[in-house]
Amino acid sequence: MDKQKLWRVLKILLKIAFTALLLWLVFSKVDEKKLKELLINSDPFYIFFAFFFYWLSIAAACWRNLTLLRSIGFDFKYGFAFRLYMLGMFYNISLPGGVGGDGYKIYILRKKFKLPTKRIFLAMLFDRISGLWAIALIAVSLVILIPKIEIHYSLPLTALVLGTIVYYFTMRRFFPDYSKHFLSIHLKAGLVQSLQVVAIICILLSHNFDGKFSPYLFSFLLSTLAANLPITMMGIGAREIVMNETSGYFGMNTELAVFLTVTFFLISTISALVGVWFVCRSKEFEPAPSQEEAEKLEANR
């Protein structure tokens, strides 16, 4: 086994080990019986609406992604973009540690439309960055509603505004093609995250929740940022450990906080499985590339 393959295997094993460690830390502090009861006794009416709003967020995310791709010359309809997006979601859960959803989309678009890999990669990167920006925006808005956070809201708000200005002018200076629709892309990113926040509210309401929503929503957004770090398998464990730790600080119900992330993960995973239809039945997409093919494509970008 060469060094690259050895490192890939080692990286996957380290992620699995770290994921297992985080889950052990979480469940050592959670009453598993109460958590199981929360999962079993959820009101299906609100869980259905959690699914509904999550699917709306997928539609909005695809719309945002399509806007970025069109800004660099792609000319295809929303239907194709949606199918490709669903395939990307499926490969994110079916190829852990491998090419991944974004890598698969880059591979398909590169082979089908012959644009340089770097341009497609940057479109996917800015798609992610816009999502992180939207999370930060909503999180800063929630700071105002959480007295427990002993920071004046003007500080994170100022940081967000200054960061956005620097971000915009950097993008405009060095990546002008991607900045053409800056406002549109980031409004859509805000819509995506807002719809996911509504899905979280629905999950809370599935247990007749009548407390303060803001600590749970703020903690969930922090957990989403943690889940984006490439240190665990599919973000598993990262979300839960953040919710577990913040529940003590904000005085939240620990089991309910962890229940939010577990339920959201199940909703997102079940939704991603829809992509298997396009893998098995669609002829417009090729099979996922091997790691060697992906590396060759990356080298020729």
pLDDT tens across 69-101, in order?
Answer: 988 888 888 988 898 888 888 888 765 555 567
- Tell me which of 135 and 148 has the higher pLDDT: 135
* Domains in the chain, number: 1
Burial class (CB in 10 A: 0-12, 13-18, 19+), 2: exposed
d(CA 19, CA 9): 15
Give the model's pLDDT for residue 260: 94
3-state secondary structure 229-262: CCCCCCCCCHHHHHHHHHHHHHCCCHHHHHHHHH
pLDDT at 117 over 90: no
- Tell me which of 99 and 144 has the higher pLDDT: 144
What residue has token string 């953040």?
242
Tokens of 140: 């800063």
Q: Are 242 and 231 in contact (CB under 8 A)?
A: no
What percentage of the chain has pLDDT greater than the value 70? Answer: 88
Lowest average pLDDT, out of 145-149, 182-186, 255-259, goes to 145-149
Q: Which candidate, 26, 53, 36, 30, places its Cα nearest to that of 203?
A: 53
Burial class (CB in 10 A: 0-12, 13-18, 19+), 260: buried
Which whole number is the average pLDDT over 143-166?
86
d(CA 219, CA 101): 26
Domain encompassing residue 88: 3-299
Cα distances (Å, whole numbers) of residue 32 to 8, 59, 220, 254, 284: 34, 34, 20, 11, 45
pLDDT at 292 over 80: no
Planar angle of CA 270, 266, 272, nearest 5 degrees: 30
Q: Which candidate, 213, 202, 200, places its Cα nearest to that of 250?
A: 213
d(CA 55, CA 49): 10
Confidence band for 1, pLDDT divided at 50, 70 and 90: low
Angle between helix axes 117-143 and 154-174 (nearest 10 degrees) is 160
Give the model's pLDDT for residue 283: 67
Give the model's pLDDT for residue 282: 63
Q: Which candidate, 299, 284, 295, 227, places its Cα nearest to that of 261?
A: 227
pLDDT at 158 over 80: yes
Q: How many CB atoms lie within 10 A of CB 84?
A: 25
Kindly report, residue by residue over 175-220, the tens digit of the pLDDT. 998 888 999 999 999 999 999 999 999 999 999 898 899 999 999 9
Give the model's pLDDT for residue 216: 95
pLDDT at 150 over 80: no
Tokens of 99: 């090419």
Give the model's pLDDT for residue 270: 92
